[in-house]
Amino acid sequence: MKVELKNISKSFGENHVLEGVDLTVEPGEVHSLVGENGAGKSTLMNIFTGLLKSDGGEILVDGKAVHYSGPLDAEQHGISFIHQEMNNFAEMSVVDNMFLSKELRTKFGLMDQKTMIKQANHYLGELGSNIDVLAPIGSLTVGNQQMIEIAKSLMTNAKVIIMDEPTAALTGNEIKQLFEVVNKLRAKGVSFIYISHRMEEIFKIADRVTVMRDGVSVATYKVADVAMKQLVHDMVGRDIGSFYPDRNPKIGKVALEAKHLKENGVFDDINFEVHDGEILGFSGLMGAGRTEIMRAIFGIDKLTSGEILLDGKKVSIHTPEQAIRHNIGFLTEDRKDEGLILEDSIYNNIALPSIEGFKKHGLIDDKTIDDFVKMLMKRLTVKAMGADVSAGSLSGGNQQKVVLAKWVGSGARVLILDEPTRGVDVGAKREIYELMNELTDRNVAIIMISSDLPEVLSMSDRIAVVYEGRITGVVDAKGATQDMVMTLATGGTVNATSR
């Protein structure tokens, strides 16, 4: 099935979100859609899938103009949207989730469990997956849940499948599996619209790529004919030089030292140190224990044993409150659940960790906090209508800057960043990197966990690699290669281990 979106426009009030967007997807094609947050990708897809009505332009399916009455109608036209956040009912079984509101019935009007299980197995089998369809969906890995989403698309006989950031929460292996499935289906003539912030993936899986910026489709390229630099240029509207800013670290004395950290069954014998002004990268596969180590250091989880030294002195940290008192900050991996109070204002989010410091005779001083928040928003270039808008209304990049602002504001001297650029668009990514440089220039020690290898290699001064709960090596970032880090991350050994 060939679909064409022609000259699509859409406004919300006076805000022109889309101003003439074109997109053509051939049968069996994987077409990547890229652009910064707010470029209009989601709006375009929502129009394509019948969630929104366009103000102008037309949608052609196999050359014929179509008008959907709603998402169900679009689904009947063979269009399926797999959202980034999957709306599953964790406690319900795979098969119940798959057939939700489409339950098959026996002639007595009761649920036909037998046929539903058979069909669920059939569609999953087509994807080469052998998930237990009776297991509660919440017990499955994110990768498997995604397989189920794809199977659901097949159930509706989808000819075009839209995937929004499908790999954001997948491990390397799961990504491989996903790509295999995509290739299998594309061979059968299913097309994909693939939205991703991860450039390497686009080059790996897509046939063509369309770049959107400020509500316009800027260009469409064959992936084989385009360089990453060009795509970034098109997305941002300017050259941002090398994607990663240069680092000229002035590394000082040891700021934080971990000695023989252990959490039963999670990690063991973790030793590392991070210096003033240094970025220590933490690499490793998902589930290797990187995040858990940091959570324990910050007092969210409990250490079984081991010592943490700050400036050479042993400290005991059992709660985040104590960690903050020792000037440690922690940007968590899960921004929505742990990083921000989404419904609360930027103001309150930034001030929260520092709130005790604004007391005057027991009362807090709003005026001082106000200045403090505005200063931080300016310094971290948080783009918002004001400090009183809710954090949840910001784009991913700006949300991340708010989280950073709160830790910078709390006076953190050791800053732990867990996937600081996940779900953040290209422009904001660059700004976050520059901020990290600015912070280390001011002697802050940064520990950066990241699954993005180029990021780890470019931004770190040293890289610690974690494999199955142990540090398998600490390498100098200069001279380290992706292969080297991946070898360590999968349990191998390399020679270039430093310190």
Partner 1 sequence: MQQVDNETPKKKFDFKQIISKMGTVIALLILVLVVTIANPGFLQPDNLLNLLRQTSINAIIAFGMTFVILTGGIDLSVGSILAFTGAVTASTIGSGTPAWLAILFGLLLGALFGCLNGFIIAYGKAAAFIATLATMTIFRGATYVFTDGNPISSNALNNSFLFQYVGRGYLFGIPFPIIIMVVAFLIWFVVLNKTAFGRKTYALGGNERAAFVAGVNTNKTTILIYTISGLMASLAGMILTSRLSSAQPDAGTSYEMDAIAAVVLGGTSLAGGKGRITGTLVGALIIGTLNNGMNLLGISSFYQQIVKGVVILIAVLLDRKKNKA
Q: Which residues of the shown chain bind partner 1 in the complex (CB under 8 A)?
A: 298, 300, 319-321, 323-325, 330, 332, 337-344, 348, 351-353, 355-356, 358-359, 362-364, 366, 374, 377-378, 381-388, 406, 410
Quickly tell me which residue has 């949608």 as its tokens: 59
Radius of gyration of the chain (CA): 24
Nearest to partner 1 of 290, 462 (CB atom): 290
Q: In whole angstroms, how close is the CB of 369 to partner 1 at the nearest point?
A: 9
Residue closest to 405 by CA, chosen among 430, 434, 431, 373: 373
| Cβ–Cβ < 8 Å for 314, 308 | yes
Nearest to partner 1 of 187, 363 (CB atom): 363
Q: In whole angstroms, how close is the CB of 401 to partner 1 at the nearest point?
A: 11
Nearest to partner 1 of 187, 385 (CB atom): 385
Q: In whole angstroms, how close is the CB of 150 to partner 1 at the nearest point?
A: 31
Q: In whole angstroms, how close is the CB of 389 to partner 1 at the nearest point?
A: 10
Nearest to partner 1 of 342, 486 (CB atom): 342
Q: In whole angstroms, how close is the CB of 331 to partner 1 at the nearest point?
A: 9
Please give the Cα distance from 123 to 79 (Å, whole number). 17
Query: DSSP state, 237?
Result: S
| Cβ–Cβ < 8 Å for 427, 36 | yes
Q: How far is CA 21 from CA 169, 190, 213, 395, in A?
A: 29, 23, 10, 22
Q: Is the dihedral of CA 45, 50, 55, 56 positive or negative?
A: positive
Partners of 52 in the β-ladder: none
Nearest to partner 1 of 351, 453 (CB atom): 351
| Coarse DSSP helix, strand, coil percentages of the chain, rounded to the nearest 5 percent | 35, 25, 35
Pairing of the two strands 445-449 and 56-61:
unpaired
Token pair recorded at residue 411? 């006076």
Token pair recorded at residue 260? 């023989």
Q: In whole angstroms, how close is the CB of 408 to partner 1 at the nearest point?
A: 13
Please give the Cα distance from 496 to 499 (Å, whole number). 10
Nearest to partner 1 of 107, 361 (CB atom): 361
Nearest to partner 1 of 62, 343 (CB atom): 343
Residue closest to 98 by CA, chosen among 156, 159, 160, 148: 148
Nearest to partner 1 of 180, 239 (CB atom): 239
Nearest to partner 1 of 226, 412 (CB atom): 412
Q: In whole angstroms, how close is the CB of 414 to partner 1 at the nearest point?
A: 15
Kindly state the helix (H) or strand (E) to which residue 437 belongs, with its residue range: helix 426-441
Nearest to partner 1 of 156, 393 (CB atom): 393
| Cβ–Cβ < 8 Å for 300, 309 | no
Q: In whole angstroms, how close is the CB of 358 to partner 1 at the nearest point?
A: 7
Q: In whole angstroms, how close is the CB of 407 to partner 1 at the nearest point?
A: 9
Token pair recorded at residue 52? 């929104």
Q: In whole angstroms, how close is the CB of 386 to partner 1 at the nearest point?
A: 6
Across the beta sheet with 56-61, the strand order is 15-25, 3-12, 56-61, 64-66
Token pair recorded at residue 194? 């693939």
* DSSP states of 161-186: EEEESTTTT--HHHHHHHHHHHHHHH
Partners of 262 in the β-ladder: 305
Q: How far is CA 20 from CA 66, 192, 218, 223, in A?
A: 18, 22, 10, 23
Partners of 221 in the β-ladder: 209
Where does 335-444 show beta strands of DSSP type E? 359-360, 363-364, 414-418
Q: In whole angstroms, how close is the CB of 329 to partner 1 at the nearest point?
A: 10
Q: In whole angstroms, how close is the CB of 319 to partner 1 at the nearest point?
A: 7
Nearest to partner 1 of 113, 381 (CB atom): 381
Nearest to partner 1 of 281, 299 (CB atom): 299
Please give the Cα distance from 210 to 214 (Å, whole number). 13
Nearest to partner 1 of 123, 433 (CB atom): 433
Partners of 19 in the β-ladder: 9
Q: In whole angstroms, how close is the CB of 216 to partner 1 at the nearest point?
A: 18
